[in-house]
Structure 1
């Protein structure tokens, strides 16, 4: 009998140690993934800021070239490249804006639908309360 109890106790201890090791492994992996996620977020933020800076620099350069060369600056290859880049950014921004507006309309409609549903439910509850149900 004592051998059986010791065997069960030893099995329980082994499972307890295995679970503790699993928890430690899980915690380390989660910490590693959190750190990688933070690094990616930081890299994305840096890249986004650099794109903004490059866009501003490009617009500034385009403005200086236009002032320096007048209307003939349009034929300058650097100006053409910058103008094309600026046009692509403008189109991407407009596309994102349209997508956001569409999503905003969908969310607004869903919100109003939910509000109507809640108002009906509240009215039913109020009516049931007044009727003593």
Structure 2
């Protein structure tokens, strides 16, 4: 149980920094540069995906990370699915629930991130960085 709590804390720290990156890029694109909402959410999610990979690889799952092509591919495939989930959820709130103002769009974005993050946590710990997969030394 202690290991799971520690894993959740590390995942949360990396994920929290990813959320900050995601929201920052999203707001810069949507409210600062006037990009479309779906373009802003997709680009922001992809930028956060890259920063999250680094955080997971070198912090949260460094004891399990082997930096294989398979691991990297799985991370980006599953994160891509997470981005798609996040985008669909955001679209439903932004367009369907008319959450399009500055505050409402940020709430919609944050909720979509949280819901997609549950999926990301499960796949990262199960398939991308599974327990028992130690660091390969050269």
TM-score (norm 2): 0.30
Give the structure, 1 or 2, with the largest relative contact order (CA under 8 Å, sep 6 or more).
2
Please tell me whether Structure 1 or Structure 2 has the larger radius of gyration of its CA atoms: 1
Taking structure 1 as the reference length, the TM-score comes to 0.31
